[in-house]
Every structure is written in structure tokens, then in C-alpha cells.
Amino acid sequence: MSAHNDSHNSHAHGADDHGHGHDDGAAHSTFGGYMTGFVLSIILTAIPFWLVMAKVFDKPATTAFVVLGFAAVQIVVHMVYFLHMNTKSEGGWTLLALIFTVMVVVIMLAGSLWVMYHLNHNMMPVSAHEMKNMP
């Protein structure tokens, strides 16, 4: 009877030991993965630096948009290679939290810019010529 209990206990305790790991979908990075992220980060920093310092584009607005594009790509690189965010980790909750955060930030920034623009436009002082015509 003790042999039966031992085999039952070993089966109960060994059920989770197949492979000694949990496959929760989270990415477990290696040194190569971190180095790939690091090299991509350096490249995505060096190119915008060169664009600004060499004054490649005539208009500063074009340069700003290109630099912002590189910044967005670099954010994705950091999230994938260093924060290990993907659609499988934690049942997709990290991606859902990221999407919600991005939406809140976009709404706050757009709303703030909209309010500041309209305050600036509506609160501008009138010219001296217009002051003479006021009652």
C-alpha cells in the first residue's frame, strides 16, 4: 500500500514539473535578443541625430516629423525587446493596458493643445487701431 501512495504522491507533485517551466506566453529573452534591441536602439538614435546635425531637410517641421517617426519605432523596439510585451504575455493584458494608456495620452495631449490654441487665439490683445473703435 505504501508503494501505491508513493507513486500517487510523485504523480501529484510531478504534474507541474514537465519541462520545469510555465508557458504563460511571456517572452524570455536571451543575450542575443537584448543585443538586437540594443543595436536597433543605437541605430534609431544615431539616424535622427545625423538628420538634425547635418540639416538634411530644408524645413524644420519635416525634420521634426521624421525624428518623431523614429521615436515611435524606437518605443516599439523597447517594448518588444526590453519590456517583452506581446499579445501572448499575461493573456494579452499588457497589450490592452498599453493601448488604453496610449489612448488616454493622445486624448490628453490633443485636448491640451486644442485648449491652448483656442485660449491663445481668443485671448490675444487687440491692436491699437482696434482699441480706438471700441466703445
Q: How far apart are CA 59 and CA 124, in angstroms?
A: 27
Do 70 and 33 share a structural domain?
A: yes
Output the 3-class SS for 51-119.
Answer: HHHCCCCCCHHHHHHHHHHHHHHHHHHHHHHCCCCCCCHHHHHHHHHHHHHHHHHHHHHHHHHHHHHHH
pTM, two decimals, is: 0.57
Do 75 and 96 share a structural domain?
A: no
Per-residue pLDDT of the chain (135 residues; tens, 9 = 90+): 555 555 444 444 444 444 444 455 555 679 999 999 999 999 999 999 999 999 999 998 899 889 988 988 998 898 889 888 877 777 777 778 888 888 998 899 889 888 888 887 777 666 666 666 666
**Residue span of the structural domain in which 97 resides:** 91-135
Termini Cα distance of the chain: 107
Do 97 and 57 share a structural domain?
A: no
Do 33 and 79 share a structural domain?
A: yes
Q: Is residue 102 situated within a structural domain?
A: yes
